[in-house]
A and B are shown apart, each in its own frame.
Chain A
Amino acid sequence: MKFSSILRYAFLGIFNAGSVYLIPLIITFESWFLLSVLIFIMFLINFTYLTDKFAALKWITPGVIFMFSFVVFPAAYNTYVSFTNWSTGHILTKTQAIDLLEARTYTPEDQRGVEFDIYIFEDDNQEYYFGADLNENEFLFGKAVSQDLIKEATFARHEPSLKNSSGEIVPPEGFKLLLGKDQINLANKLQELSLVIDTSTRAQLYKISVFGSSTGRLLSTSQRYSYDSDNDILYDNSTNATCSSDGDNFLCNGESVDPGWRVFVGSENYKKLFSNQRIRGPLELVTKWTFQFATLTVFLAFSVGLLLSITLNKEKLKFKRLYRALYILPYAIPAFVSVLVWKGLLNPDYGVINTWLDPFYTFFDIEPIKWLKTKESARAAVLLVNTWLGFPYMFLITTGALQSIPKELTEAAKVDGATGVQSFWRITFPLLMVSISPLLIGSFAFNFNNFTLIFLLSGGGPPVIGSEVAVGWTDILISFSYRLAISGGRGNLFGLASSVTIIIFGIVLLISALSFRYTKRLERIYGNI
């Protein structure tokens, strides 16, 4: 057998074994979508490597699978999410939400109150066990569990041996009896725990007594909500209310029951972005700054880069190589490190930048700048740091472009009597722009989504006071979206956040289309094909 065949069968064997192992796992969770994806991939891989029909597939299939699963599919899914109400309180599907609601219990009024002595034991693992001295015939003992584990807990069993004939409690082997004062220290924790007696009854710690034995209480629980799937109605058994669905929540007596569920809401999110003033305002502000930031930052970095490449574009200039090597350095450092360092330099109280500016502040008798704390200083800081991060790239590309411009052109202009400045603006600069502008557009698109810089340097802040959603003066669209979805502190608005990324997507598409058109880059790509 040839080496390539051995390789092929070994790979197929491992791949199929892994997939077959996953199938039952996925079936347990009834995730039919994932199952069909897996079966499709299995089919594709086996088809590709067992037949000799399509030779090219053998080379591209693995890469294509990854690209589709983790780039193309998420992009499509992102579009879907932007048409849903997916957010805190609307995370689950309707079935999941109903399951959760039906699992909720309550204690009817007439079932409260049977009281008895309760003893608390602690084992070596700091887990707690309750002993409930219900009556002469029943001394129940078992592990005390928290609310969400009640369903899985085993029932308490009758353990008469824990109480000897004189009425003293004898802890079982490996357990110690908690004294009243220990119970008080642990009160918060202990009161969350229940001893499960049967499916509808449990015992809880009710009152802690320091000297005598503590008091427990029996709670008889009933199912709180029942769902009628024929009429799509939820009954609240505790209040006898009938709750109808309003689309993504059940409404009981006018109040919505949490959790709701996620549904397709059509263009609701986009309507919110464009017409709800409390969201539209921040969006406009952020969009405007995103364009300003991307434009200014490209302009500043390009200006510095060009200035330096012109300065060094001189024969017989000493130390030219040294200058070049040093200018590259900011580009060589990962941005997440540079930003952290700059945050230190810019620190308003202790940073070196305000130390330098100190004489200036004293001379003009002005307040020191609170870097990153005010709108203007934060915006200036973001631009300053990004100029530092970006000028080496601009320096590199302008140097390359300058060197490729034939000297004869400027020399001819000189002969015709043009000054250096004239020949630069009339000849060198336009020629430079021809080769540089696609790269400038690329840089614009990159900075349009420069999340790392904005989020790590200013966090998007300082916050815009009085805004409904979390938004700051230096937020760009992508960091705005991130705050809506992940870290805004006002819940996770996944649906709204992904509709913002769809807007970014549209803008980037537009920019790319323009740049393709402008530079006819597509032609080159077609040529390459």
Chain B
Amino acid sequence: METFNFLKWFKEYGWRHLVGITFVLFAIYPILFVVTNSFADFANLANSKLIPDGFTLKHYKKLSGDPLVPYFTWLFNTYKVAIIASLFNVFLGTLAAYAFSRLQFKGRRASLLTLVIVQMFPAFLAFVAIYLLFFQISDILPFMGLGTHLGLILVYLGGSIGFNSWLIKGFMDTISPSLDEAAKVDGANDFQIFTKIIAPLARPILVVIFVITFIGIYSDYILAAIFLKDKNLWTVAVGINTVFVDDFNADWGVIAASSVLAAAPIATLFVFFQKQITGGLTAGSVKG
């Protein structure tokens, strides 16, 4: 029987655990810290610690009752804007992807290339123009001007349609054309092929694209900050980063609670869809 040789074990495995654990601490310390602190019974940042002395829900309660910090209105706004924009985004992207994947038409190649080139540039680079355009639209069509959710949704909608239809097209290309050819022989038109065959088969990728788009819009700061001036219309990203700037010491408990509430759903979604999301992101490398 072989005796346990520590040195040999360390050379093979031990150092790996040492490095591994060090970076586990680096990775999760801030997260653990904010999660425990959001439940911790303490006065301020100065006497916060990783493992608090007592637990309480007071920070969460404070968040729901403060008219100066309408946190749950912000959360609602964020979900509203992100869900509506992502749904339309995926819907329109899917329609376009179908045409690019299944129909032969003049200018198809050129339009696809245009899509790719346009998507190389983040939409927010033109933030000055977006601001000025919607500033002018505000006079004429106030319901979609600066300071409205509708205007913001429209900008988000335009922002990633190209990229999404590109990804969806890639997936649709992998669906065997013999399926729709058979349907065509049976007399199905494009609309039927799309609703009965292609769209149902593409559903897994559509869910993933929806999640990626949703997370992207949920996490956006710059466009929402430019667009929304009224406190009650802010998204979470704008809200917590505007309200909590001066007094970190006194506000720390509330900051921790609002961070947890803002991050938890997204983190859950991310972990759940991790493989697909990182796959999609690697293909387009938009995050990181």
Residues of A within 8 A of B (CB): 4, 22, 25-26, 29, 31, 34, 54-56, 58-60, 62-64, 66-75, 77-78, 80-81, 86, 301, 304, 307-308, 311-312, 314, 317-319, 323, 325-345, 347, 349-352, 388, 390-394, 396-397, 400, 438-439, 442-443, 446, 449, 451-452, 455-456, 478, 481-482, 485-486, 494, 497-498, 501, 504-505, 508-509, 512, 525, 528-529
Collect the chain B residues with CB atoms within 8 Å of residue A55's CB. Answer: 103, 105, 190
Collect the chain B residues with CB atoms within 8 Å of residue A307's CB. Answer: 19
Once the chains bind, are A71 and B282 in contact (CB under 8 Å)?
A: no
Once the chains bind, are A455 and B165 in contact (CB under 8 Å)?
A: no
Question: Is B116 part of the binding interface, using a Cβ–Cβ cutoff of 8 Å?
Answer: yes
Stretch binding the partner chain, chosen from B175-183, B201-209, B240-248? B240-248
Once the chains bind, are B108 and A4 in contact (CB under 8 Å)?
A: no
A54's partner among B31, B105, B123, B266 (CB-CB below 8 A) is B105
Once the chains bind, are A63 and B30 in contact (CB under 8 Å)?
A: no
A505's partner among B92, B125, B140 (CB-CB below 8 A) is B125
Once bound together, how far apart are the Cα atoms of A439 and B28, in whole Å? 25
A394's partner among B46, B108, B288 (CB-CB below 8 A) is B288
Nearest-Cβ distance from residue A386 to partner chain B, whole angstroms: 11
Once bound together, how far apart are the Cα atoms of A438 and B270, in whole Å? 24
Collect the chain A residues with CB atoms within 8 Å of residue B49's CB. Answer: 352
Collect the chain B residues with CB atoms within 8 Å of residue A77's CB. Answer: 126, 129, 132-133
Once the chains bind, are B23 and A304 in contact (CB under 8 Å)?
A: yes
Once the chains bind, are B99 and A56 in contact (CB under 8 Å)?
A: yes
Q: Interface code B120-133, partner A: CB below 8 Å = 1, 0 otherwise?
A: 11111111111111
Once the chains bind, are B45 and A75 in contact (CB under 8 Å)?
A: no
What are the 3 tightest A-B residue pairs by CB atom distance, in nearest-first order? A70-B158, A442-B285, A393-B288
Nearest-Cβ distance from residue B285 to partner chain A, whole angstroms: 3
Once the chains bind, are B267 and A22 in contact (CB under 8 Å)?
A: no
Nearest-CB residue, chain A, relative to B219? A334
Known contacts A334-B262, A443-B288, A529-B112: A60-B96 contact under CB 8 Å: yes
Q: Interface code B91-131, partner A: CB below 8 Å = 1, 0 otherwise?
A: 01101101110010100110111001010111111111111
Once the chains bind, are A4 and B191 in contact (CB under 8 Å)?
A: yes
Once bound together, how far apart are the Cα atoms of A388 and B170, in whole Å? 32
Q: Does more than half of chain A's interface fall in helix, strand or loop, or is it mixed? A: helix
Collect the chain A residues with CB atoms within 8 Å of residue B112's CB. Answer: 529
Once the chains bind, are A311 and B19 in contact (CB under 8 Å)?
A: yes
Collect the chain A residues with CB atoms within 8 Å of residue B157's CB. Answer: 66, 70
Once bound together, how far apart are the Cα atoms of A459 and B111, in whole Å? 39
A439's partner among B118, B159, B162, B282 (CB-CB below 8 A) is B282
Count chain A CB atoms within 10 A of each CB in B140, B226, B266 and give the residue with the most. B140
Other than the given A331-B288, A505-B125, 10 more pairs (CB < 8 A) read: A56-B105, A67-B162, A69-B158, A75-B129, A304-B23, A311-B15, A314-B13, A350-B45, A498-B128, A509-B121
Once bound together, how far apart are the Cα atoms of A55 and B281, in whole Å? 32
Collect the chain B residues with CB atoms within 8 Å of residue A528's CB. Answer: 170, 173
B248's partner among A64, A344, A498 (CB-CB below 8 A) is A344
Once the chains bind, are A512 and B262 in contact (CB under 8 Å)?
A: no
Question: Is B286 part of the binding interface, using a Cβ–Cβ cutoff of 8 Å?
Answer: yes
Nearest-Cβ distance from residue B157 to partner chain A, whole angstroms: 5
Once bound together, how far apart are the Cα atoms of A222 and B221, in whole Å? 48
Once the chains bind, are B270 and A332 in contact (CB under 8 Å)?
A: yes
Nearest-CB residue, chain B, relative to A393? B288
Nearest-CB residue, chain B, relative to A38? B141
Question: Is B161 part of the binding interface, using a Cβ–Cβ cutoff of 8 Å?
Answer: yes
Once the chains bind, are B267 and A333 in contact (CB under 8 Å)?
A: yes
Collect the chain B residues with CB atoms within 8 Å of residue A4's CB. Answer: 189, 191-192
Collect the chain B residues with CB atoms within 8 Å of residue A347's CB. Answer: 45, 248-249
Once the chains bind, are B128 and A481 in contact (CB under 8 Å)?
A: yes
Once the chains bind, are A323 and B158 in contact (CB under 8 Å)?
A: no
Once the chains bind, are B282 and A400 in contact (CB under 8 Å)?
A: yes
Known contacts A59-B95, A327-B24, A347-B248: A67-B158 contact under CB 8 Å: yes
Q: Interface code B217-249, partner A: CB below 8 Å = 1, 0 otherwise?
A: 011011000100000000011001100100011
Known contacts A349-B249, A394-B288: A312-B27 contact under CB 8 Å: no
Nearest-Cβ distance from residue B16 to partner chain A, whole angstroms: 5
Nearest-Cβ distance from residue A500 to partner chain B, whole angstroms: 9
Collect the chain B residues with CB atoms within 8 Å of residue A58's CB. Answer: 99
Nearest-Cβ distance from residue A65 to partner chain B, whole angstroms: 9
Question: Is B1 part of the binding interface, using a Cβ–Cβ cutoff of 8 Å?
Answer: no
Nearest-Cβ distance from residue A392 to partner chain B, whole angstroms: 7
Nearest-Cβ distance from residue B92 to partner chain A, whole angstroms: 4
Question: Is B274 part of the binding interface, using a Cβ–Cβ cutoff of 8 Å?
Answer: yes
B221's partner among A73, A350, A452, A497 (CB-CB below 8 A) is A452
Collect the chain B residues with CB atoms within 8 Å of residue A350's CB. Answer: 44-46, 48, 248-249, 252
Collect the chain B residues with CB atoms within 8 Å of residue A339's CB. Answer: 241
Collect the chain B residues with CB atoms within 8 Å of residue A54's CB. Answer: 105
Collect the chain B residues with CB atoms within 8 Å of residue A504's CB. Answer: 125
Question: Is B20 part of the binding interface, using a Cβ–Cβ cutoff of 8 Å?
Answer: yes
Nearest-Cβ distance from residue B159 to partner chain A, whole angstroms: 6
A-B contact pairs, 13 of them (CB 8 A): A56-B108, A63-B162, A67-B161, A74-B129, A81-B128, A319-B20, A325-B271, A336-B240, A351-B45, A396-B278, A455-B222, A494-B132, A528-B173
Collect the chain A residues with CB atoms within 8 Å of residue B252's CB. Answer: 344, 350
Known contacts A74-B129, A77-B126, A349-B46: A342-B30 contact under CB 8 Å: yes
Once the chains bind, are B140 and A34 in contact (CB under 8 Å)?
A: yes
Once the chains bind, are A451 and B158 in contact (CB under 8 Å)?
A: no
Collect the chain B residues with CB atoms within 8 Å of residue A31's CB. Answer: 136, 140
Nearest-CB residue, chain A, relative to B26? A388
Nearest-Cβ distance from residue A341 to partner chain B, whole angstroms: 5
Collect the chain B residues with CB atoms within 8 Å of residue A74's CB. Answer: 123, 126, 129-130, 133
Once bound together, how far apart are the Cα atoms of A314 and B274, in whole Å? 22
Known contacts A71-B123, A75-B126, A337-B259: A312-B271 contact under CB 8 Å: no
Once bound together, how far apart are the Cα atoms of A298 and B57, in whole Å? 39
Question: Is B33 part of the binding interface, using a Cβ–Cβ cutoff of 8 Å?
Answer: yes
Question: Is B150 part of the binding interface, using a Cβ–Cβ cutoff of 8 Å?
Answer: no
Collect the chain B residues with CB atoms within 8 Å of residue A334's CB. Answer: 215, 218-219, 237, 262-263, 266
Nearest-Cβ distance from residue B226 to partner chain A, whole angstroms: 6
Once bound together, how far apart are the Cα atoms of A340 and B245, in whole Å? 9
Nearest-Cβ distance from residue A83 to partner chain B, whole angstroms: 12
A344's partner among B218, B221, B255 (CB-CB below 8 A) is B255
Once bound together, how far apart are the Cα atoms of A56 and B95, in whole Å? 10
Once the chains bind, are A497 and B128 in contact (CB under 8 Å)?
A: yes
Question: Is B83 part of the binding interface, using a Cβ–Cβ cutoff of 8 Å?
Answer: no
Once bound together, how far apart are the Cα atoms of A335 and B263, in whole Å? 9
Once the chains bind, are B140 and A70 in contact (CB under 8 Å)?
A: no
Nearest-CB residue, chain B, relative to A69? B158
Question: Is B69 part of the binding interface, using a Cβ–Cβ cutoff of 8 Å?
Answer: no
Nearest-Cβ distance from residue A56 to partner chain B, whole angstroms: 4
Collect the chain A residues with CB atoms within 8 Å of residue B48's CB. Answer: 350, 352
Nearest-Cβ distance from residue B206 to partner chain A, whole angstroms: 14
Collect the chain A residues with CB atoms within 8 Å of residue B96's CB. Answer: 59-60, 63-64
A390's partner among B24, B120, B284, B288 (CB-CB below 8 A) is B288
A340's partner among B95, B140, B240 (CB-CB below 8 A) is B240
B31's partner among A312, A314, A329, A344 (CB-CB below 8 A) is A329
Once the chains bind, are B154 and A70 in contact (CB under 8 Å)?
A: yes
Once the chains bind, are A442 and B129 in contact (CB under 8 Å)?
A: no
Nearest-CB residue, chain A, relative to B130? A74
